[in-house]
Structure 1
Amino acid sequence: MVPKHDPDVWLFDLDNTLYPARCNLFAQIDVRIGRYISDWLKVTPEEARVVQKQYWRDHGTSMRGMMSLHGVDPTHYLDYVHDIDYSPVEANPALEASLKALPGRKIIFTAGDVPHAERVMERLGVAHHFEAIFDIVAGEYWPKPHKQIYEKLVKQHNVDPTRAAFADDIAVNLKPAADMGMRTVWIRTDESVKRAADINLDHIHHQTDDLATWLAEWVAERNKAERKA
């Protein structure tokens, strides 16, 4: 069921949501994660790759596995893996215009950290639209879709879930939001569609291949409805 009320708070995932998946920043991050694990555990790149994927499956993120099993400092880890080239992310005037027209508070909800999010938003030219970044650190290093971090976010930022919307490219990340009463927007990418192949998508209220266009259309429909009221 789509929530009855229009959102007055908008939550946005960062990677592959606010910027297009073709930027492929995670390919760089993925390489950095492998190098970190290889260096820390003193194993070959091939062995590190096995560990990386095993920890991701068992702990939700490779970082959580490295923290839990090897005492890794998460700040050191995050600084290392986000030391990447951000030039593939280009300014997005269409997204800037859509966010400007979109009423309500706007918050980044990301599995990255604040410095990573700030660098991305600076490249996009949209940082001024967001009042806060709720990152992996704020979530005590637990990734989406762990429900406790959604609960912490809404409490920390005084969000009424029934008056909120959440956009993310990973379909399973939208399930806890929908369960709390949020409107959900799934950003489809080639990879996210593959990952959602065996998932029940009843919790998805809206879906799009282009966030900026969808937001512009949503605002236009809302304005049209208000004029008729």
Structure 2
Amino acid sequence: MTETPDASAFAHVKNWVFDLDNTLYPHETDLFSQIDVRMTRYVQDLLQLPRDEARRVQKQFYLDYGTTLKGLMECHNIDPDDFLQKVHDIDYSWLKPNPALGEAIKALPGRRFIFTNGDRGHAERAAARLGILDNFDDIFDIVAAGLTPKPQRTTYDLFLEKFSIVASEAAMFEDLARNLVVPKKLGMKTILVVPGNFEPTFSEIWESDPEFTDQVDYVTDDLTHFLKQLTAA
């Protein structure tokens, strides 16, 4: 499924921006499912709901506010630090080191960033487990974004300002097309990272983004191969 990128179309890119979950590690690793379960449990305990109803509420928060956290903050005034600590208390042994990806990222010319709706601790632990953490210049997390998640425009503006990035000199890799709408408008190259063979499981159907695919310049189900093609010359 991986498209062969035209390396010359990326010759101007000086800043490489990567989402974390289901982007830097394969969707089939299913690490995010642990976080998802903990978010449902958090809603269940907070609102004293049956699990199925708590999950419905959680997903509605996600759709309405961009993240479950933002919805809980807006509607129930929760402590964001408590939420982030509890939902990211997961088993990272599910992740396998990926030295090939690390080398492909390291070979990219310019600066490299992780831009995530999770928190820095989660990003650091996941990237360290993958063996790629040292290949990034910095991490921009939900706390740095003032707890306002992608795809809100203000969050991208904060990211670009913090690192003095010219959007037209950047490329962004994401697993959700909706999070590429603003980058595309700003002039970034946009790359959608999809599951292997693009076969989403039932649990992901609710978050599919068919209406946003026009915001995508390239699609790949093999990030490592895609990056290697950019630097092969």
Q: Same fold by TM-score, threshold 0.5 exceeded?
A: yes
**Structure 1 residues 4 and 44: alpha-carbon distance in aligned structure 2, compared to 1, 3 A threshold:** closer
**Structure 1 residues 85 and 175: alpha-carbon distance in aligned structure 2, compared to 1, 3 A threshold:** same
Alignment of 1:46-195 (within 5 A): 46-189=52-195, 190-191=199-200, 195=207
Alignment of 1:211-226 (within 5 A): 211-220=223-232, 223=233
- Verify the 8 A CA contact 1:112 1:136 in the aligned structure 2: yes
Residue identity in the other structure for 2:141: D
Residue identity in the other structure for 2:67: T
TM-score between the two structures when normalised by the length of structure 1: 0.90
TM-score between the two structures when normalised by the length of structure 2: 0.88
Matched, 1:205 2:214: no
What is aligned with 2:4? none
**Structure 1 residues 43 and 197: alpha-carbon distance in aligned structure 2, compared to 1, 3 A threshold:** closer
What SS does the corresponding residue of 1:207 show, helix, strand or coil? strand
Residue identity in the other structure for 2:215: H
Unaligned runs of 5+ in 1: 224-229
Larger RCO (CA within 8 A; separation ≥ 6) = 2
Unaligned runs of 5+ in 2: 1-7
**Structure 1 residues 197 and 126: alpha-carbon distance in aligned structure 2, compared to 1, 3 A threshold:** closer
Shift of 1:197: 5.8
CA RMSD of aligned residues (A): 1.9
Number of aligned residues: 220
**Structure 1 residues 212 and 77: alpha-carbon distance in aligned structure 2, compared to 1, 3 A threshold:** same
- Verify the 8 A CA contact 1:13 1:168 in the aligned structure 2: yes
What is aligned with 1:226? none
Shift of 1:15: 0.6
- Verify the 8 A CA contact 1:106 1:131 in the aligned structure 2: yes
Alpha-carbon distance in structure 2 between the residues aligned to 1:115 and 1:179: 30
Residue identity in the other structure for 1:93: P
Return the index of the structure with the highest Cα Rg: 1
Encode CA deviations 1:96-119: one digit per residue, 9 max, x unaligned: 110121111001000110000001
Alpha-carbon distance in structure 2 between the residues aligned to 1:152 and 1:27: 28
